[in-house]
């Protein structure tokens, strides 16, 4: 059973640029969530995708957007990067029933984004 | 507003010295309280889910408990390999899949 894989592992971007982060969910999981984790902080919920539609969003501006594909993989896009966007971006997947009942979410190792 | 607070922020123990980590929460319609372990540069690794006050779960040297306002992660006779950041997260009734995380407790166990 494969886990959640994220790419790339590290990324350096310049302020104002755009970035796309990718996530392959665990086999059998159809729900994907994205989180932002600043250094020394707990993860903050960005949004969740279920059956290719966004079905929940945290307090993040519209320049944070996402996609989920038919194979349940997902992308996180961030436009007009700001210095404060520097963080570890985590993807988490779960199966349909489990996500609604709050069962285990499987996290990837994350993408470390640095904005300079 | 839903909130999760963990204490202490950092904890240093000697090998074998037992202790507890605290997670206080104010979440509407709590549906689950999660504990995760996170090693540096890695994603959170699932440890436990607790669903109702009075519930307890154990795994090796770790034991998680839940009351109506807080959860504790008890570490019995810790070893250096238990060193990590422990995250608590709550899942409420919003039904959007949102986990509300605390800021974590960084545990260091010295041999």
pLDDT in tens, B7-58: 999 999 999 999 999 999 998 888 889 999 999 989 999 999 999 999 999 9
Return the residue of B nearest to A41 by Cα. Answer: B103
Mean pLDDT calculated for residue range A16-35:
92
**Position B95 confidence tier, pLDDT thresholds 50, 70, 90:** low
pLDDT at A102: 47
Q: Using CB atoms, which residue from B6, B99, B103 is nearest to A105? A: B99
**How high is the pLDDT of residue A72?**
87
SS3 B81: helix
Average pLDDT over residues A2-11: 92
Q: What is the mean pLDDT of chain A?
A: 90
With 60 as the cut, is the pLDDT of residue A32 above it? yes
Residue A100 has pLDDT above 50, yes or no: no
* Residue B98: per-residue pLDDT: 85
Does residue A4 surpass a pLDDT of 60? yes
Distance CA A1, CA B103 (A): 30
pLDDT at B81 over 80: yes
Residue A97: predicted pLDDT: 54
pLDDT tens digits along A43-77? 999 999 988 999 889 999 999 999 999 988 999 99
* Residue B62 to residue B102: CA distance in whole angstroms: 19
Do the Cβ atoms of A48 and B45 come within 8 Å?
no
Closest Cα in chain A, distance from residue B43 (Å) = 4
Q: Cβ–Cβ of A94/B97 closer than 8 Å?
A: yes
* CB contact at 8 A, B61 and B74: no
Residues of A in contact with B59 (CB under 8 A): none
Chain B contact set for A55 (CB, 8 A)? 96-97
pLDDT of residue A105: 85
């Amino acid at each position: 059973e494969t886990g959640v894989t994220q790419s790339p592992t590290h990324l350096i971007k310049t302020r104002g640029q755009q970035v796309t982060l990718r996530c392959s969910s665990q086999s059998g999981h159809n729900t994907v969530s994205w989180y932002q984790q600043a250094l020394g902080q707990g993860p903050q919920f960005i949004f969740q995708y279920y059956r290719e539609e966004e079905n929940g969003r945290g307090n993040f501006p519209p320049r944070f957007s996402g996609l989920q594909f038919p194979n349940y993989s997902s992308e996180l896009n961030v436009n007009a990067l700001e210095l404060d966007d520097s963080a570890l971006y985590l993807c988490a997947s779960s199966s349909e029933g489990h996500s609604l009942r709050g069962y285990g979410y499987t996290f990837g190792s994350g993408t470390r984004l640095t904005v300079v | 507003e839903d909130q999760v607070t963990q204490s202490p922020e950092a904890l240093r123990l000697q090998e074998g010295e037992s202790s507890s980590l605290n997670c206080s929460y104010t979440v509407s319609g709590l549906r689950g309280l999660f504990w995760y372990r996170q090693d540096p540069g890695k994603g959170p690794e699932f440890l436990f889910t607790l669903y109702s006050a009075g519930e307890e779960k154990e795994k090796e040297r770790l034991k998680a408990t839940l009351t109506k306002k807080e959860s504790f992660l008890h570490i019995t006779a810790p070893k250096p390999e238990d060193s990590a950041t422990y995250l608590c997260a709550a899942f409420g009734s919003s039904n959007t899949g949102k986990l509300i995380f605390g800021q974590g407790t960084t545990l260091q166990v010295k041999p």
